Structure formats: C-alpha cells, structure tokens
Structure 1
C-alpha cells in the first residue's frame, strides 16, 4: 500500500527540516535513496509535494496539506501502538506546545513527575506565541498545546485552571506601599507593560488598561514576562502578570512590588487543547490532572 508509513515519515521529516540532505543524515539514509522515495510518492499521488531548489525543499500548497494529513496518520498509528501497550500518550513521543507565560513556571515540576512516573514518554516542549501554537496544532506540528481556549476554535479543550492577574511595579512606586489587592480603577493614568500582539496576554492587558483609564506603553513590548518585570522594576510602568508567574516570583524574592488585581474580568482560562478527533488521545485526561495538580501546588 502506497504511500507507506515510512514514506510518510520521510515527507514529514523533509517538511520540518526544509533540506533533503539534512533529513537524510538525521534518518540515517542516503540522500539519493531519500530523494527516490519522495519521487515515488509524488508519482503515486500524481502531485509535486516539494519545490526543490538551492535554498532547500519547500512544500507546495498541496504538499502542505499532504504533510498535515501525513502527520495525522502517523499520530493515529502511534496512538494505536500506545493503546495496545496500555499507556496511551505516555508511550512514545508527545510534542507539547505551551505559552511562554506558562511553560517555564508550570512545566518543571510536571516534567519531573512525568519522568519519574512515565519514563517511556519522550516529551518535546515548544514555547510559542498564541498564533504559532494554533498553527502548530492545525498543521499537526504539535500534538497538544497548553493555551487560552478561545484562541483555538474547532479543537478539543480540557479546562486546566483559571489564572488571576497581579500587577508589578517598582519598589518606590506610589502603589507599592501595600500588599493588599488593588482595584482596577486605582490604575487610572498608569502606563501598562505587556507582551507583543501575537500573545493573548497583550489583548487582555489592553482591555484592562482601557477600562482603567490607563494606556499601554507604545515604547516597549516585551518578549517574556521576565523582561516586562524588569522594565517595571526600572520604573517604566506597571506590568500585568499571570498568577503562576507572580507566585513563582514571590517565592524567590523579587525586585518589584506585587499586588493582586481585584477585578472580575482580570482572569484568563488555561486549557489543554488537542485536535478535535472522534476521541481524545488516550492518556490526555491523566496529563490534564497532572497539569492541574502542579498549578494548584504553585498557587497554594
């Protein structure tokens, strides 16, 4: 039956590296053999999968769709084998995408537990923006993502936890005198610091700033929560931070004053998101439980 599973693996690997020679080296096959296999698939399907040139091998428009479907088929076969072995997603490789505002603070404890309890799992983590996570999920580049559910329509969502927001400011800021929760209205006229527009957090902060009568800084857009915190510590404005990050900072001692933001809309939902297949991937419910448990430990 053509294309074979091995040929599908070749197609996906070339799409990911963009170079036939590099792919051949990674897969431990000769470049002529790999090229011949790709040509055989193209002949069988009657379409060109890649545009080959000096810059590498780039999927054609139909090639992009074939690559996406090849990934899906390979995932299904992987699930079939894992189900037969009784360990679901924990037997094999899981490509997990996560928001940068969550991954470094939630995942270390999760990874340790998974390594201890499920040593056969090979977890591959990718920290990416909201937009890139959605593209990765749709294309099959990622198996699951930890993200805000509203940004992944048409997918399966498993609620993990709800995060509240905190504000961080320089230690000499007028609002740094107290550790009590602060009402949104108190932030009128303040400058809000946030990530770039590719991240859901930036839209949340923009909404909060508008309702508070403040402004979002147009002089600085951070690429990480640490960068935003450092700008706030230097007096550039007020950083709005998710609770998992704020709790982590509070434990280690920090260079900013932290106060919880008291507002009903100052929350974000976090979910484990996967493609909307007839059934969720076997073991994803257990992974969700582990993620929830770790989030509760951090926020306690």
Structure 2
C-alpha cells in the first residue's frame, strides 16, 4: 500500500502542531480517524513515523524525512491543480493570496472593483500574515501567491508593485509634530521607536533606522497593528514608523493625522507580488500584478500633497 495524499496531509499537520488533537482540527477530521490513518500508514510502510506520548506527538527520524518529502509532494500536487484551473494568462477559479497586514487593508479595498471587472471568474481567498509565515506557507503550497517584500523570500519569481517611504507619527505636542517637511535621521536621535511584534519585516527596517540615527527600538511596547502603534505614539509612548500606503490612506480618512516622511534611503521598502519559481501560474500572476500596481500608484500619488504638511 502506498501512502495517500490525505495521509501525507495528516502527518504534516502533526508535524506542524505537535499534537494529534490539534492536527485533527487543522485538517477537519476527528482525532480517532486521523490516528487510525497514521497507524495504517505506519503498518503498511513497516516503520514508526510518530512517537506518541502524554506530552504530544514527536516525529521519529524516519518521520522527519517522510514529512520533508511529503511537503514537496503536496506542494507539487497544489501546483498541478493550479495548472488545471488556470490558463497561461487567464485568471479564474480560486486563488489563495497571502498578504502583509501592513499592506492588505490599505491596498485591497482600492482594487477589488477593478479585479472583479477584469477577472469576473476569479475568486480570491485572502489571509494576512507576518513575513516569516507568508514565506513558509508560500513554499509549502498553502498560498498560490503572496504580496510581500521580495528580499525576504528565496526561490521565487516576482513582479514589483510599488516602493513606499516611511513616515514618523508622534504626539501632537511633540517637537517632531511642530515642524513641517521631511525628518532627518539626526532628528530621531535618542527617541524611542515603536514596532509591531516579531516576524514582521517592518521591524528590521525600523531597527536599521534606529541604529543609523541613534534612536532605540522600544522594549516596552510592541503593537499588534499599525493603528495600535499610531495610537500609542499619539499618546506620547514613542514615535511610530508608518509605511506611506497606510499613512496616506489614513490621512484621507482621518484629517487629524499628522505625519512626516523620513529623509533617508533606509526609510523605504519595496513590495511585490511573489510566487514560487516553480509555479505554473507565473504568466497569470503577472497579469494580476497590473491592477494591484495601478491601485497602489493611485494612493501613493497623494504623497507630498497630504503629508509632510498639515493633514487638514
């Protein structure tokens, strides 16, 4: 008997969760059913793949190698399914998109109507994740494509979408909020910079800015969202570093927002539509990139007109 794709999914789920119960929930089956399938596979192969204990489930050496190869097979199967659904440049069916939480809410609402008009048969399934998780789930085949920073992913193809600058936001009474125009790095010396939680690429950029300017990254507060760190900055807890897509979108919605661009080459990041370099969807995804880039350009065209001066 050969292992089935479903059995491979089950043992990969065990590897990811470390517990039979959690793995069963992840793949939407009962725990007894999952356990029975793993036991059946082990019996057929004549090898123990999972060491069971009260603390959970741990892969044996044979299990680790099995899971490594199973991930490759499952990814190839997902690519095979994609070949059947998509033509060279047609976009139809379900496309699984992963996107940075610092980009998704500020880009996608501006492009949904255009995407629907251009690709009426396309159904996007979207999930926001940290950079580190986007990379893992793209390579495992859980995502067909992601919107992220291309320098943080390997073995990929990508289409550039936009480059955005970074802005500072501080409390209204802060001296940084009393001036207009760009902020120089030396203006940030000694300041406490607010960041998101670990695993976000934006954090490493902020750390580089801190190192170059003599600022420090706050160890007292890590925000769960850009809105959270902006709020903390406006309350005087530090200086928020905000990407321009967010800052410009929020400036249009909230006329009280005041932010200033950082005048340094470190204070920018490039965003691309990214896919595995083995993906059969490359031509289709390049077609998808065009409306995404157009929507971003429309937002970023406001740069210099709405921020760097009073937002009112």
5+ long unaligned stretches in structure 2: 14-21, 302-312
**SS in structure 1 at match of 2:297:** helix
Measure, in 2, the Cα distance between the counterparts of 1:47 and 1:112. 53
Which residue is equivalent to 2:71? 68
**In the alignment, which of 8, 12, 29 is matched to residue 9 of structure 2?**
12
CA distance in 2, matches of 1:281, 1:157: 8
How many angstroms apart in 2 are the aligned matches of 1:221 and 1:213?
Answer: 20
Distance (Å, rounded) in 1 between the aligned partners of 2:253 and 2:184 = 26
Give the aligned partner of residue 229 of structure 1: 230
CA deviation profile, 1:205-245 (whole Å, cap 9, x unmatched): 11112211222111111121111000011011111111100
Specify whether residues 274 and 138 from structure 1 end up closer, same or farther in structure 2 by C-alpha distance, changes over 3 A only: same
Which of 70, 75, 78 is the aligned partner of 2:81? 78
**CA separation of 1:21/1:228 partners in 2, compared to 1, >3 Å: closer, same or farther?**
closer
CA distance in 1, matches of 2:57, 2:26: 10
Q: Secondary structure at the match of 1:170?
A: coil
Aligned partner of residue 251 in structure 1, secondary structure: helix
1:130-279 equivalent positions in 2, closer than 5 A: 130-253=131-254, 255-277=256-278
CA contact (8 A) 1:195 1:223 kept: yes
Q: CA deviation at 1:164?
A: 0.6
CA change 1:185–1:20 in 2 (3 A) is closer
Instruction: Report the Cα distance in structure 1 between the residues aligned to 2:155 and 2:290, rounded to whole angstroms.
Output: 23
Aligned to 2:28: 23
| Alpha-carbon spacing, 1:21–1:193, altered in 2? closer, same or farther (3 Å) | closer
Q: By how many angstroms is 1:82 displaced?
A: 2.5
Q: For 1:158 and 1:86, how far apart are their aligned partners in 2?
A: 16
Q: Secondary structure at the match of 1:153?
A: coil
Q: Distance in 1 between matches of 2:157 and 2:45?
A: 31
CA contact (8 A) 2:165 2:267 kept: yes
1:117: Cα distance to partner?
3.0
Contact 2:250/2:257 (<8 A) preserved: no
* Residue matched to 1:119: 120
More displaced, 197-206 or 182-191?
182-191
Distance in 2, Cα, partners of 1:213 & 1:244:
26
2:11 touches 2:38 (CA, 8 Å); kept in 1? no
Separation in 1 of the partners of 2:54 and 2:144? 31
The normalised TM-score by structure 2 is 0.79
- Separation (CA, whole Å) in 2 of partners of 1:258 and 1:227: 15
> Is the 8 Å Cα contact of residues 129 and 199 (structure 1) preserved in structure 2?
yes
CA deviation map 1:188-221 (0-9, x unaligned): 2222111123111111111112211222111111
Change (3 A) 1:69 1:243: same
Find the counterpart in structure 1 of residue 289 from structure 2: 288
For residue 11 of structure 1, report the CA deviation from its aligned partner. 3.8
Decide which moves more: 137-146 or 54-63. Answer: 54-63
Structure 1 length as normaliser, TM-score? 0.82
Find the aligned partners of 1:52 and 1:126 in 2 and give their Cα distance. Answer: 32
Query: Residue 18 of structure 1: CA displacement?
Result: 1.5
Q: Does the residue aligned with 1:264 lie in a helix, a strand or coil?
A: coil
The number of equivalent residue pairs is 290
Structure 1 unaligned spans of 5+: 26-30
Question: C-alpha distance in 1, partners of 2:11/2:52?
Answer: 11
Q: Deviations over 1:3-48 (max 9, x none)?
A: 6xxx4256437755721896348xxxxx86x877766766666666
C-alpha contact (below 8 Å) 2:11/2:67 kept by paired residues = no
